[in-house]
């Protein structure tokens, strides 16, 4: 199983925690694959959220190097199939 497949498999946990965080969860971020022409880059989104239709949104959290279709601090929506990683900080630890 590829790493992206594993991430997709456990994405439901991230989504559940994001929708109903416990008091010990201080930070959420999600990494997504961005394609621009023939360039690909994996970029962290801060302030991730899911709408009522289960669409994923976030703010570009690191300056893109190779892709030009997104910019730092830009709000974007993206397909959940393009998620390549996620993180939650809980009790000061990465989970």
Q: Encode pLDDT of 36-73 as tens digits.
A: 989 999 999 999 999 888 889 999 999 999 999 999 99
**4 pLDDT exceeds 60?**
no
Element (H, E) at 89: strand 83-90
What span, in angstroms and rounded, lies between the C-alpha atoms of 6 and 51? 23
Claim: this prediction has a pTM higher than 0.75: yes
Tell me the C-alpha distance between 65 and 75, whole Å: 17
* pLDDT tens readout for residues 75-95: 999 998 899 999 999 999 998
């Amino acid at each position: 199983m590829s790493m992206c497949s594993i991430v997709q498999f456990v994405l439901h946990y991230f989504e559940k925690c994001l929708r109903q965080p416990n008091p010990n969860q201080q930070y959420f971020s999600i990494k997504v694959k961005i394609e621009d022409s023939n360039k690909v880059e994996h970029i962290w989104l801060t302030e991730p959220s899911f709408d009522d239709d289960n669409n994923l949104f976030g703010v570009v959290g690191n300056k893109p190097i190779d892709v030009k279709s997104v910019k730092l601090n830009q709000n974007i929506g993206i397909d959940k199939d393009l998620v390549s990683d996620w993180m939650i900080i809980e009790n000061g630890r990465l989970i």
